[in-house]
C-alpha cells in the first residue's frame, strides 16, 4: 500500500504517515469490572512540521441503534519516533492518568505494537497499572486494540475499534 506523504511531514515521521488524518468509527469496550458497551470514536492525528504527531481521541457511548448517548473518554497526546527506531506514544486523560507507551513498528506493514513504559496517576484516579496497544491499517481502516491491567485485574482485553479515514 502506498501512502501519499505530506511534504511538511518531517522525514523521521514517514513510518507513521499512515496515522495522519481524521478517523471515525466504532468499537466495543469491556472489562471484568464494567459492563460491555459499544462506542463511537473520532481520532485526529495531525502535525505542524515538527518531529512529532499530535493525537486527539474522543469516544461516546452508543445505544443499540448506533446513536450517541453521552461522552465516554478523551485522550490527548503525542507520537514520536526516536533515533533508534523506537516509537513513543505519550497520552494524558482527564480522569487523572498519564501514560507513556513505547514500542516498535512492523517494517513490513503499517502497524505499531506498544506497551506502557510508565503510568502516572493523580491521588484521586482509579488504579491503573499497565496497558498494551496495537494500531494497524488494514483495507484502509484504522484498527486498534488495547489490553489493560487495572483495579486488581491482570493484563487483559479492554477496547477494540475500527475506524475509517474521513475528510
Query: pLDDT by residue (tens digit) across 87-96?
Result: 999 999 999 9
> Is 3 within a domain?
no
Asked if residue 130 is part of any domain, the answer here is yes
Enclosing domain of residue 88: 11-166
pTM of the model: 0.93
Nearest CA among 79, 73, 117, 78 for reference residue 93: 73
Instruction: Please choose, from the candidates 26, 19, 24, the residue with its C-alpha nearest in 3D space to the C-alpha of residue 161.
Output: 26
For the stretch 33-76, pLDDT in tens is 999 999 999 999 999 999 999 999 999 999 999 999 999 999 99
Q: Using an 8 Å Cβ cutoff, are 166 and 141 in contact? A: no
Strands (E), the chain: 21-31, 34-46, 53-62, 68-81, 87-93, 97-105, 111-121, 128-138, 141-150, 156-166
Q: Domain for residue 2, yes or no?
A: no
With a CB cutoff of 8 Å and minimum separation 6, the contacts of 73 are 57, 58, 59, 93, 95
27 in a domain, yes or no?
yes
How many domains, in total, are found in the chain? 1
**CATH code: domain of residue 62:** 2.40.128.20
Residue 4 lies in a domain: no
40 within some domain: yes
Amino acid at each position: 500500500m502506498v501512502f501519499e506523504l505530506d511534504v511538511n511531514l518531517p522525514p523521521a515521521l514517514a513510518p507513521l504517515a499512515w496515522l495522519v488524518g481524521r478517523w471515525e468509527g466504532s468499537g466495543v469496550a469491556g472489562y471484568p469490572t464494567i459492563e460491555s458497551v459499544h462506542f463511537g470514536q473520532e481520532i485526529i492525528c495531525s502535525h505542524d512540521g515538527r518531529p512529532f504527531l499530535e493525537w486527539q481521541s474522543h469516544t461516546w457511548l452508543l445505544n443499540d441503534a448506533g446513536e450517541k448517548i453521552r461522552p465516554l473518554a478523551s485522550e490527548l497526546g503525542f507520537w514520536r519516533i526516536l533515533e533508534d527506531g523506537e516509537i513513543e506514544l505519550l497520552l494524558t486523560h482527564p480522569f487523572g492518568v498519564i501514560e507513556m507507551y513505547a514500542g516498535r513498528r512492523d517494517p513490513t506493514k503499517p502497524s505499531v505494537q506498544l506497551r506502557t513504559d510508565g503510568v502516572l496517576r493523580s491521588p484521586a484516579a482509579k488504579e491503573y497499572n499497565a496497558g498494551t496497544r496495537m494500531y494497524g491499517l488494514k483495507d484502509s481502516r484504522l484498527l486498534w486494540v488495547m489490553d489493560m491491567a487495572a483495579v486488581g485485574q491482570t493484563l487483559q482485553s479492554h477496547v477494540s475499534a475500527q475506524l475509517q479515514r474521513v475528510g
